[in-house]
Amino acid sequence: MRILSGIQPSGILHAGNYFGMMKPSIDLQEQGEAFYFIADYHSMTSLTDAKLRREYTQRVAIDFLACGLDPKKAVLFKQSDVPEHVELSWMLSSVCPMGLLERCHSYKDKIAKGVSPNHGLFAYPVLMAADILIYDADVVPVGQDQKQHVEVTRDLANKFNDLYGETFVVPEPRIRRDVAKVPGIDGGKMSKSYNNTIDIFGEEKAIKKRIMSIVMDSRGIDEPKPDAEENNAIQILEHVADEATYTETVEALKAGGFGYGHVKKKLFECYWEHFADARKRREELLANLDYVEEVLREGAQKARGIASVVNRRARVACGLE
H/E element holding 241? none
- The one catalytic residue in 78, 110, 225, 266 is 110
pLDDT digits (tens, 9 = 90+) for 214-270: 999 999 999 999 999 999 999 999 999 999 999 999 999 999 999 999 999 999 999
Q: Which long-range contacts (CB under 8 A, 24 or more apart) does 276-283 make?
A: 278/66, 278/67, 278/68, 278/200, 278/201, 279/66, 279/201, 281/65, 281/66, 282/62, 282/63, 282/66, 282/201
Q: Is the pLDDT of residue 206 over 70?
A: yes
Return the SS3 of 187: coil
As to burial, measured by CB atoms within 10 angstroms (0-12 exposed, 13-18 middle, 19+ buried), residue 57 is: buried
Percent of the chain whose pLDDT exceeds 70: 97
Q: How high is the pLDDT of residue 190?
A: 92
pLDDT digits (tens, 9 = 90+) for 68-91: 999 999 999 999 999 999 999 999
Task: Tell me if 290 sits within 8 A of 296, measured CB to CB.
Answer: no
Q: Is the pLDDT of residue 173 over 80?
A: no
Q: How high is the pLDDT of residue 160?
A: 98
Percent of the chain whose pLDDT exceeds 90: 80
Alpha carbon distances (Å) from 262 to 110, 183, 233, 240: 37, 19, 11, 16
Q: Is the pLDDT of residue 159 over 90?
A: yes
Q: How high is the pLDDT of residue 271?
A: 98
Annotation says 113 is catalytic: no
Q: Is the pLDDT of residue 178 over 70?
A: no
Backbone phi, then psi, for 176, in 5-degree steps? -80, 105
Q: How high is the pLDDT of residue 175?
A: 66
Question: Which stretch of 113-117, 118-122, 165-169 has the lowest confidence by average pLDDT?
Answer: 113-117
Annotation says 192 is catalytic: yes
Question: Which stretch of 22-26, 102-106, 138-142 has the lowest confidence by average pLDDT?
Answer: 138-142
pLDDT digits (tens, 9 = 90+) for 278-319: 999 999 999 999 999 999 999 999 999 999 999 999 999 999
Annotation says 266 is catalytic: no
Between 169 and 174, the more confident residue is 169
Q: Is the pLDDT of residue 180 over 70?
A: no
d(CA 18, CA 199): 10
Average pLDDT estimate for 197-211: 97
- The one catalytic residue in 73, 189, 254, 265 is 189
Q: How high is the pLDDT of residue 112?
A: 84
Q: How high is the pLDDT of residue 202?
A: 94
Confidence of residue 211 (pLDDT cuts 50, 70, 90): very high
Confidence of residue 130 (pLDDT cuts 50, 70, 90): very high
Q: How high is the pLDDT of residue 193?
A: 77
Q: Share the mean pLDDT of the chain.
A: 93
Confidence of residue 168 (pLDDT cuts 50, 70, 90): very high
Q: How high is the pLDDT of residue 177?
A: 61
Q: How high is the pLDDT of residue 110?
A: 81
pLDDT digits (tens, 9 = 90+) for 131-155: 999 999 887 877 666 788 889 999 9
Q: Is the pLDDT of residue 53 over 70?
A: yes
